[in-house]
Each structure stands twice: as C-alpha cells, then as structure tokens.
Amino acid sequence: MREWSRQQKNKGLSIGFVPTMGCLHEGHHSLISRSLKENDRTVVSIFVNKLQFGPAEDFKRYPRPLQKDIRLLKTWRVDALFHPLQNQMYSKGFVTHVEVEGLDSALCGLRRPGHFKGVATIVAKLLNIVNPDKAYFGQKDYQQWRIVGRLARDLNIPTRIIGCPTVREPGGLALSSRNSYLTRNQRLDARGIFAALQWGKKLIKFRKRPIPILLKLIRNRLQTIPGARMDYVQLVDAKTLQSLRKPPQKASLLACAVFLGPARLIDNIVIES
C-alpha cells in the first residue's frame, strides 16, 4: 500500500482516502464520490478493527460481505482497496496506542470504554500507511470525525480531514452497516430516532424550558419507539463535545445512541448558533 501511494505521489497525483469497516452502502459511497471528485486517486480501506470493539460487542458477527464490497468498489471506480489482515495491522508485541483526551470521554466514549482509543490508533496507522492528501469521514459518526481531526493536527499528520453529511433512507434513518441487524419492522420503527432528534432541535431552538428538561422530553420520545432501549441523549458543544446545560450560544450537537433489537444505533443533528 505504501509503495502504491509513493508511486502515485511521484507522478504528482493527489490521493483521497476513505477508511471503512466494509459492508458498504450509500453512506460510504457519498464519501467515496467526494474523494473521487477532489483527488486524482481514491483509496478505500476495509478493516474491521478488533481494537475498537468491547468484549461484549459485535466484532465476531459484524457483517463482512467482501466480494460484494469489491464489486461495489469496482462500479464506483475506486482506484485501490486496502484490505489488511488483523495480524498484519497488529503484529505480535503491539503495545502502542493513540488517545485523544477529552474528546474521547464524551458521548459514545463514556458508553464504550476504549472504543475511541481503538479508532484513533487504527486511523493514525492507516493515515501513516496510505499517506493521503485528504481523508473523508462521515458526520454520522460525528465524535469520530472530531477526534480524527484533532489527532491529525496533534500528531502533525499532513492529511486534511474532511467531514461529510450523513446519508439517510427516505424515512430519515441514517444508513449504517449495523442496520442489517434489524428486522423490517425494526427498521421502520428506527425512523423514530431521527424524527425525535429533529423534534428536539426545534424544542432547543425555542428555548422555552431548561435544557435538562428538554433532554428528558426527547429521551421520553425516543423511548416510545417500540423495543427501544436508551443508551444516551446529550446536547454538547459541536467543537469541544462538552455537555451543555444552558441554551447553546455556539453551534451544538444533539446526539443519541439507542439499542434496538440486536443493534446499537447512533445519530445526531447539528443545531446552528
């Protein structure tokens, strides 16, 4: 992979990079399209990174339809796929990790200890190997995008980190590889997540009640989704990801995680200042 990147750079070509865990969908495609538009070459990685999964999480059953993904990447006209093996990325004796303090201890970081350490470590490694000019991340995983932006700055990685808008089904459900865990009915019910966030955004903009009370109303609404079990719903500063208890003066983020059947679904909505 390094050698391929070096050859492109030697020819004066720019490289765009889209890291994924595979089971590709239109959300991934939107990042890839943007990279194809903005760069001479586009690399996609598929790597289900064991390090970012907790012991009770879905690493083993995470969908891995590799042949279908390769077909999609060909139709989408991607230039290179990087698909390393687990023991190639983490060889015997691997002990070095990247932690992005503060940003990793909000939202999902509190619920999935070690998750963002795993994410930051693999992304730093991938950026080092691929050495792209630009790398594309979805704002569906808003916290991940912010963490990667910070780590690239802090570690002097010469890649521009670009956030891309969330792609949704017509009913509003954010596309996700984990949606494949849902039954047809659960998938319809899951539309309630974004509906609740949109409703919450209006409540927060009207500023009629204190934030903790509004968050409780939004939580209650999310809990009306059949079979849903709340993980969290939080209002945070869009840059620092610190919790807000007062009406936001700057851009903020209303983010939630909800368990539905076997899936843990996350979504968010930005509230402009």
* Positions that interact with ligand AMP (CB under 6 A): 20-21, 27-28, 30-31, 137-138, 140-141, 164, 166-167, 174-177
Comparing CB distances to ligand AMP, the nearer of 235 and 265 is: 265
* 175 membership: H or E segment, kind and range: none
Contact 35, 16 (CB under 8 A): yes
Instruction: Judge contact between 172 and 189, C-beta under 8 A.
Output: no
Active-site residue (options: 25, 28, 97, 115): 28
User: At its nearest, how many Å lie between ligand AMP and the CB of residue 240?
Assistant: 20
Q: Which CB sits closer to ligand AMP, 25 or 219?
A: 25
Tokens of 212: 């903790």
CB 173 within 8 A of CB 187: yes
Active site residue 28: yes
In this complex, which beta carbon is closest to ligand AMP, that of residue 161 or of residue 211? 161
Tokens coding 86: 């687990």
Q: Is there a contact between 131 and 15 (Cβ–Cβ < 8 Å)?
A: yes
Nearer to ligand AMP among residue 139 and residue 211 (C-beta)? 139
Q: Minimum distance between the CB of residue 23 and ligand AMP, rounded to whole angstroms?
A: 7
CA dihedral 97, 144, 35, 4 (to 10 degrees): 10
Q: Which residue is nearest to ligand AMP (CB)?
A: 138
User: In the complex, what is the shortest distance from the CB of residue 87 to ligand AMP, in angstroms, rounded to a whole number?
Assistant: 20
Query: How many angstroms separate the CA atoms of 223 and 249, rounded?
Result: 28
Query: Which residue do the tokens 């889209």 mark?
Result: 18
Q: Least distance to ligand AMP from the beta carbon of 59, Å?
A: 13
> For residue 140, what are its two tokens?
């569906």
Task: Indicate which residues carry an active-site annotation.
Answer: 28
